[in-house]
Structure 1
Amino acid sequence: MRAFSALLPIVSLFSFTAIAQDIPALVDKQLGELVQTYKGIHAHPELSHHEEQTSALLAGELRNAGYTVTEHVGKYPDGSQAYGLVGILKNGTGPTLLVRADMDALPVVEETGVSYASHVKAKNPAGQEVGVMHACGHDVHVTTMVGVARTMAALKSQWHGTLMLVGQPSEETIDGAKAMMADHLYERFGKPDIAIALHDTSTLAAGQVGMTSGPALASSISYDVTMRGIGGHGSTPQAGKDPIVMAAEFIVELQTVVSRSEDPQDPAVITVGDIHGGTKRNIIPNEVKMELTTRAFSDKARQTIFDGITRTAKGVGVAAGVPENLMPVVKLLEDESTPVLYNDPALSLRVKAALVKALGAKNVSETPRIMGSEDFGVLGDDHKIPVTMFWLGAADPAKLAAAQAAGKELPGPHTSKFEPLPEPTLRTGVTAMSSVAIALLQ
């Protein structure tokens, strides 16, 4: 990872002088450098809680563009410091606009085959060696913020107020925004009047953007469920209580929580994404641990899910005849949970108008809400600050058209073959976000 330090800017190649005061011209002038920055970040991804070099690169770029930058903003519940950063550019009286870019990558082995593919390996929290990849496009987000920072600094005559650029850590573990708020983000740097962000997607072609007004992304609540039993020899199962069988029964029965307890018009998802138990084929273990993620849009659905998980786990324990002191344990993980991302309708209208003006109506579409989750909404401070996130198309238009014609989907975020098309994606991202920022700061 040390090689990443060579990418840190000393003097930016991009000049703010003697350039036409026009967003497309500003973007085109820096596009080549931005593509190289993107490829460097992509080749050197960092897992959540470890975004040291990515954060340093972004901080250096913001300083070069004239922003006052504070690094190491954010504290996790265990007291450790986060790699969040805040860049402030004051430009007279006016509103304060927060623009967020998340920085972390995922434990995924890259299989895109691009020349700048990641070959990074790292240790996950369990101590296992894993591949690391920007499989969710946060490298696009960081690079776009670099371009937006430069563009907004060059166009100060066209806007007034305060621009707050936030480099957020640990979005993938959905505790980065909470960590920054816990470190008194708004008390230290001022409370924004509005907050915006973008997120790339493989469902739109590069050059296009999408908007959702109102509930846009589902809440995410994480659970740990431990099935406890009585271990023993695999040849004498009658002498114990097998938690592996109990875990299997729990997973199968869990499917009925959504299909038979939840209103089908109020979408919800329960997924068991991780299960660990046992050490050897002929040993019945004492326990099996499972990690669950759940998604919902309403408080009612979230309660239905919680009740269903708890009831199902206990029912399996009772049916297996385990003693009361070994009943299954269900733990809700507050630090790995995030609320619904609600795009403020009034702000969304303003954002959409700016996008249409900048990109043309044919390149701005209405997109449906999805069951994916984001912690950007946490920066809305419990709906006290209007927030809106829009989608940035990242797919190769020809590949997307071919996939759609065949009734297929391109590899999307969180897959090993997610491959944004760099140049048009970054051009559109910087143009779109800069245009929105200027429109909101007039």
Structure 2
Amino acid sequence: MSPTNMIDSEQSLLHESYLHLHRNPELSMQEHRTAEFIEGKLEELGIEHLRCGGTGVVGVLRNGDGPVVAFRADTDGLPIREDTGVDYASVATGTLADGTEVPVMHGCGHDTHVAAALTATAVMVRERDSWRGTIVWVFQPGEETAAGAAAMVADGLWDRAPKPELVLGQHVVPQVPSGAVGLASGSAMAMADSLRVTVFGTQSHGSQPQNAIDPVVLGAHMVVRLQTIVARELSPQEPAVVTCGTFHAGLKENIIPDRAEFTINVRTLTEDVRSRVLEAITRILNAEAAASRAPQPQIEEIYRFPLLHNDPQRTEQVAAALRAELGAEQVVALAPSMGSEDFGWLAESIGVPNVYWVFGGFPADRADPPVNHSPFFLPDMEPTLSTGVRAAVGALRAALG
């Protein structure tokens, strides 16, 4: 099949949707205006749709008997102040769960994902004489907090929409050049576990440490000791990451507080390594507390991301389709990433395979392109957006026959 060529109306849909979404990001699970925008575009294309998982939108494009394939695009922004300097930069704000007002931007490229998916929808509608089956377009909220895919599944996604035999998805990144795509077969993205740890001590005046159990010192020992799990308890052939990303304690420099709180993020590629790392975290935290004569700490799960496993057979089929669409030199094989995605819940919940790939956002000759979640993250509009559309259409064509 010949490569995808978008007509003028599709190019307009692509660029106008991207600019609108970039200017109007919303926080995870608060994507109300974004959902309304997506619904409006689906209606213009004559696509039946439904709400699912709060701010999730599902579009169903039926085209006779044939395979059922789902395609997912995530919709949420991040609490980051955009610093790109473009005239369409976001100045939006949002409110976190604790009531804090924060700036919001599409610092992970989800605006490109939605714009590409909407335009791919238009292409598949125009080309419906060349394929048969059903496409389920999953516009998923809350990827950044691992809440969205689970919320859609819990809200009966696969009871309310046709159940697919394959789930596809993609993400823009700086790691491959614009115009190119990359994908990994098998374990593609890591599991992630985020934990909140509350360390308990005994408050005292800063001049009387003998009357205190200092949770700041105790917590500091915990944070340092946790770094020995990967360095000294795992084989170098067993990838894992243990990060302590926040630490909060006290209100004044001369008061030893009664508690401290820090957060941990764990990335692993196998269930065995995951269970050993989590066991080691609990063991170390409890042992350090005992060493300081402190109560056992409180350990709470914040959220969890699943392993993203690309079915090898389906991955090769998609890779072949992407090579045909973009050119063999524009499709690269990737090693597993320690980044995480909740995309895997969609297929795992019904026991079907998935394939997930990345597409580039910056030219190969650009030195040090900004990474996802940076205030400077701004993929070049082209060929990034068109590559996202072409990759989606190419993979869908191959899956639908």
TM over 0.5: yes
Task: Render the CA deviation track for 1:23-79: whole Å, top value 9, x for unaligned.
Answer: 6332554223421221121111111011011111111111211110102x11xxxxx
> How far is 1:329 from its partner?
1.5
> How far is 1:83 from its partner?
0.3
> How far is 1:173 from its partner?
0.1
> How far is 1:191 from its partner?
1.4
Cα distance in 2 for partners of 1:153, 1:204 equals 30
- Contact in 1 for aligned 2:2/2:325 (Cα 8 Å): no
- Contact in 2 for aligned 1:35/1:423 (Cα 8 Å): no
* Residue 293 to residue 28, structure 1, CA distance change in 2 (3 Å): farther
* Residue 27 to residue 166, structure 1, CA distance change in 2 (3 Å): farther
Cα distance in 2 for partners of 1:384, 1:28 equals 39
Task: For 1:58-69, list aligned pairs within 5 A.
Answer: 58-69=38-49
For structure 1, which runs of at least 5 residues remain unmatched after alignment? 1-20, 75-81, 404-408
> Are 1:32 and 2:12 matched, yes or no?
yes
> Are 1:51 and 2:18 matched, yes or no?
no
Matching residue within 359, 369, 374 for 1:392: 359
- Number of positions where the alignment pairs a residue of Structure 1 with one of Structure 2: 401
Cα distance in 2 for partners of 1:90, 1:303 equals 43
* Residue 29 to residue 126, structure 1, CA distance change in 2 (3 Å): same
Residue in 1 that maps onto 2:156: 184
> How far is 1:383 from its partner?
7.2
Matching residue within 321, 328, 331 for 2:300: 331
Residue in 2 that maps onto 1:121: 93
> How far is 1:167 from its partner?
0.5
> How far is 1:165 from its partner?
0.2
> Are 1:235 and 2:215 matched, yes or no?
no
- Contact in 1 for aligned 2:4/2:393 (Cα 8 Å): no
> How far is 1:157 from its partner?
0.6
TM-score (norm: length of structure 2) = 0.97
Residue in 1 that maps onto 2:252: 280
- Contact in 2 for aligned 1:28/1:427 (Cα 8 Å): no
Residue in 2 that maps onto 1:77: none
Cα distance in 1 for partners of 2:72, 2:299 equals 34
SS at match of 2:55: strand
- Contact in 1 for aligned 2:3/2:325 (Cα 8 Å): no
SS at match of 1:24: coil
- Contact in 1 for aligned 2:10/2:122 (Cα 8 Å): no
> How far is 1:359 from its partner?
0.7
- Contact in 1 for aligned 2:28/2:144 (Cα 8 Å): yes
SS at match of 1:98: strand
> Are 1:137 and 2:106 matched, yes or no?
no
Task: Render the CA deviation track for 1:373-413: whole Å, top value 9, x for unaligned.
Answer: 00001011257111000111111x1xx4142xxxxx32110
TM-score (norm: length of structure 1) = 0.88
Task: Render the CA deviation track for 1:201-237: whole Å, top value 9, x for unaligned.
Answer: 1112221111211100000111111101111211211
> How far is 1:271 from its partner?
1.0
- Contact in 2 for aligned 1:232/1:240 (Cα 8 Å): yes
Cα distance in 2 for partners of 1:259, 1:27 equals 54
- Contact in 1 for aligned 2:72/2:139 (Cα 8 Å): yes
> How far is 1:272 from its partner?
1.2
Residue in 2 that maps onto 1:362: 329
> Are 1:378 and 2:345 matched, yes or no?
yes
Paired AA for residue 310 in structure 2 = N
Task: For 1:236-255, list aligned pairs within 5 A.
Answer: 236-255=208-227
- Contact in 1 for aligned 2:4/2:325 (Cα 8 Å): no
- Contact in 1 for aligned 2:73/2:110 (Cα 8 Å): yes
- Contact in 2 for aligned 1:23/1:151 (Cα 8 Å): no
Residue in 1 that maps onto 2:238: 266
Query: Structure 1 stretch 296-305 or stretch 164-173: which is displaced more?
Result: 296-305
- Contact in 2 for aligned 1:27/1:427 (Cα 8 Å): no
RMSD: 1.5
SS at match of 1:401: coil
- Contact in 2 for aligned 1:112/1:419 (Cα 8 Å): yes
SS at match of 2:170: strand
> Are 1:418 and 2:388 matched, yes or no?
no
